[in-house]
Amino acid sequence: MSEANHVSPKSPRETLQEVKEKAPINWGVTAVLGLTFLVAIIIVPWYGFVHGYNAWTWTFFGIFLIMNGMGIGSGYHRLWSHRTYDAHPVLKWILAVSGGMSLQNSIIVWCARHRIHHKDVDNNEKDPYSINRGFWFAHIGWMLRDYKSGEIDYSVVPDLQQDPVAAWQHKWYWTLVVVTNVVVPLLLGWLTGDVLGMFLLAGVARLVISHHFTFFINSLAHMWGKQPYTDENTARDQHFLALITYGEGYHNYHHMFQNDYRCGIRWWHLDMNKWFISTCALFGLVKNRKRAPQFKVLRARLSMEFKAARQKLEQASVSATWKEQFDTEYAQFVETVKQWQQLQMERVQQGRQMLADRFESETASLTSRYRELEISLKMQHKRLALLTAQVI
Ligand SMILES: [Zn+2]
Ligand SMILES: [Zn+2]
């Protein structure tokens, strides 16, 4: 027996203890996040109470808040981290400036950490903001110290280093931060008659709110909400978080289908980033929006529903007929998935043939067979809901 076999595997508790060992404090980040927070909760209300804020100040506060959120959501996250669509250079510049203004590091650094977050989600040693290290750590703690898990791995962003807009923003990041957060608010304040008011509300308070709303995605969106598509990680879907993050709160869907430009897939889902990207597409600023195949989405949802129904079953007594009906439904689900896999293989086969001679009618028949399978899953979703409703 080799030496290695004698080493017992570390328990999750031991691993957590190890990663928690005090890393050196990052004084720069701590000072900026701490000071801006204190100004926002003490001086901003005091100034409002004593002097009040004029309409211009409130207007720019709102504009900058939305710009920052969308710069991060549509830009940093959906465009650069996940490449869910292609953007015209004009749009890229706008997103790079408005995302950079929100002081969350450069596109390249942000995306490098975010890609690792997806790859090693919930892994305390690798995920830079693993929720398993607690709410505080996932929300903000991970930035206040130089943890090993927060080290930037540039090898995961070679595409972004080649991207001229991302590379420019990385090089000029701090200049961009100072100009947009200090120079612009002061200038606007001077033009509209309240320099300090504009700086405090549209500068500092806006920055702090924008920070914490985004940070909620790493903390709350991994703790609070539903898991309709997967329970293999901690990510959740939550409407309120989606509202304040312009759609990013549909985080369970996003972790399952990260290449989709949408996070909220239903038309009524509060996903402003999705609507913004689609509007830009109308003007030719966006192309190649990627969507997850409908069948895969339905399959994921249904398999979670079967899982939930099974758990419910364990706690309730059901009739033999009910159980039989449930088993039949599940068998049909497995069969539909099998048929879909078969169809996928046929499509690959046909794709090869298509190159040689165009079989357009065949392709049309494939499309209608795909649709049939999707409809079959949708119907099953409804039947399963009715079936589980009978179990109290
Ligand atoms: Zn993501
Ligand atoms: Zn996440």
- Strands 286-287 and 86-87 turn out to be antiparallel
Output the pLDDT for position 2: 42
Dist. CA 369 → ligand 2 center (Å): 35
Helix (H, G, I), strand (E, B) or coil at 236: coil
Out of 255, 287, 319, pick the residue that ends a domain: 287
Whether residues 179 and 227 share a domain: the answer is yes
> How does 204-241 read in b/e, with b if 16+ C-beta sit within 10 Å?
bbbbbbbbbbbbbbbbbbbeebebbbbeebbbbbbeeb
Dist. CA 220 → ligand 2 center (Å): 10
Output the pLDDT for position 307: 92
Q: Is residue 128 part of a domain?
A: yes
Dist. CA 115 → ligand 2 center (Å): 10
Nearest to 75 by CA among 202, 208, 246: 246
Whether residues 120 and 215 share a domain: the answer is yes
Q: Is residue 35 part of a domain?
A: yes
Q: Is residue 1 part of a domain?
A: no
**CB-based contacts of 143, cutoff 8 Å, min separation 6:** 26, 29, 33, 150
Phi, psi of 259 (to 5 degrees): -90, 0
Total domains, the chain: 2
Output the pLDDT for position 21: 63
Q: Is residue 87 part of a domain?
A: yes
Dist. CA 146 → ligand 1 center (Å): 22
Which position has the token pair 């969308």? 70
Output the pLDDT for position 265: 96
Helix (H, G, I), strand (E, B) or coil at 391: coil
Whether residues 149 and 87 share a domain: the answer is yes
Low-confidence ranges of the chain (pLDDT < 70): 1-21, 354-362, 392
DSSP code per residue over 124-154: TTT-TT-GGG-HHIIIIIHHHB--GGG---G
Q: Hey, how many other C-beta atoms are within 10 angstroms of the C-beta on 47?
A: 19
Whether residues 217 and 116 share a domain: the answer is yes
Nearest to 129 by CA among 116, 120, 138: 138
Whether residues 251 and 308 share a domain: the answer is no
Whether residues 53 and 186 share a domain: the answer is yes
Give the C-alpha separation, 263 to 269, whole Å.
Answer: 9
Whether residues 165 and 275 share a domain: the answer is yes
Dist. CA 259 → ligand 2 center (Å): 14
Output the pLDDT for position 348: 84
Tell me 88's DSSP state: -
Ligand that lies nearest to the alpha carbon of residue 217, given by its number in the listed order: 2
Question: Using an 8 Å Cβ cutoff, are 127 and 136 in contact?
Answer: no
Dist. CA 241 → ligand 2 center (Å): 13
Q: Is residue 5 part of a domain?
A: no
Task: Give the pair of three-digit tokens for residue 3.
Answer: 């030496």
Out of 232, 263, 287, pick the residue that ends a domain: 287
Dist. CA 176 → ligand 1 center (Å): 24
Whether residues 107 and 34 share a domain: the answer is yes
Dist. CA 286 → ligand 2 center (Å): 25
The sign of the torsion formed by the CA atoms of 332, 337, 342, 346 equals: positive
Whether residues 25 and 46 share a domain: the answer is yes
State which residues form the domain around 355: 294-389
Whether residues 17 and 72 share a domain: the answer is yes
Question: Using an 8 Å Cβ cutoff, are 80 and 160 in contact?
Answer: yes
Whether residues 123 and 155 share a domain: the answer is yes
Output the pLDDT for position 354: 65
Dist. CA 234 → ligand 1 center (Å): 13
Dist. CA 281 → ligand 2 center (Å): 26
Q: Is residue 373 part of a domain?
A: yes
The pTM of this model reads: 0.89
Q: What is the pLDDT of residues 37-62, one digit of tens each?
A: 999 999 999 999 999 999 999 999 99
Q: Is residue 84 part of a domain?
A: yes
Whether residues 131 and 29 share a domain: the answer is yes
> Looking at beta carbons, which pairs linking 381-386 to residues 24 or more positions away fall under 8 Å?
381/298, 381/301, 381/302, 381/305, 383/329, 384/302, 384/305, 384/306, 384/309, 384/329, 385/305
Out of 287, 322, 357, pick the residue that ends a domain: 287
Q: Is residue 3 part of a domain?
A: no
Q: What is the dihedral of CA 90, 286, 253, 292, to 10 degrees?
A: -150
